[in-house]
Structure 1
Amino acid sequence: MGIKSFQGKRAETKIDTSAPIKVSDYMTKKLITFHPDQPVIEVMDALIKHKITGGPVVSEDGELVGIISDADCMKQISESRYFNMPVSSETVSKYMSTNLDTMDINETVFDAATKFHQTSHRRFPVLENGKLCGMISRKDILIAGLKLQGQRWGN
């Protein structure tokens, strides 16, 4: 007589529909921002002090006008030696990136993961009705992935 295998009734798979999946659920809302006329040396100090790699550049009206990163600051350091100029003599507006990719507050972490995968960006400004309301980073999406592991989405 052979061994019979029996698989009993499977338990229903529960889908947690309350799991937050929007960018707004994981983004940083309290931002360290910079101004176009701010000296790059101040940005370097803030990046080190706050242990961040970049931040949004906003106008006096709070409009997003650029992003300044540690790589942008490195360029300023490199050029200061080449041109024999002090590091502190240049402003953010000269080195910030102005061709910006952004995310909308209503996009999902899946949209963000795809965008990060398709670009070399480490962070995206998040906009709500065209205004800066937060930043989402690769690390934020990894955190979301851990919280969402084992769940199924969709219909």
Structure 2
Amino acid sequence: MLKSVKVRDYMSRDLVTFSEHMDLFKAIDVLLVNRISGAPVIDPAGHLVGLLSESDCLRSILSGSYFEEVGGTISSVMTVVVETIDADADIVKAAEHFIHKGRRRLPVVDEGRLVGQISRRDILRAVKAYNEHGAPK
């Protein structure tokens, strides 16, 4: 059954991450070069402390241009309340979260440390593998 398939089995592990002290425009460059819409912000110990999205960047630029103070560090613009999922949660729980909350991806944590990210596409990949083979790959 799909409830036996864990998030950790299908999550992406190789993530672009930011430090909260990184310059905002450097972070924007990283988002653009990597063609991603956002990335987790972690502390030196690997704990998730926030998320920086394109919306956060735009909001900061618009607000800053109004006050003629564009720029700063990620910590001043990142989203600090971030929904996450535990690495040992089953993918059904992740799928339910995506459906009910409208999210496309969730940071995956293990004891507070960021260990990956699970997306809708990862869930579909897991379902396909389970359907083809009766068990996770």
- TM-score > 0.5, shorter chain as reference: yes
TM-score (norm 2): 0.84
Aligned twin of 2:94: 112
Q: Which has the higher helix share?
A: 2
Aligned twin of 1:101: 83
**Seq. identity, %:** 35
Alignment of 1:7-18 (within 5 A): none
Aligned residue for 1:90, secondary structure, equals coil
5+ residue gaps, structure 1, are 1-16
For residues 98-152 of structure 1, give each alpha carbon's deviation from its aligned partner in whole angstroms, at most 9, with x where no partner exists.
1121111111211101011121333211111222111112222233333334787
Aligned residue for 1:74, secondary structure, equals helix
Range with greater deviation from structure 2 (137-146 or 23-32) = 137-146
Matched positions, count:
134
The 1-side partners of 2:121 and 2:24 are apart by: 25
Aligned twin of 2:29: 45
The 2-side partners of 1:95 and 1:36 are apart by: 9
Matched to 1:107, the amino acid is A
Aligned twin of 1:57: 41
Aligned: 1:130 with 2:130: no
Give the greater-gyration-radius structure (CA): 1
Aligned twin of 1:76: 60
5+ residue gaps, structure 2, are none
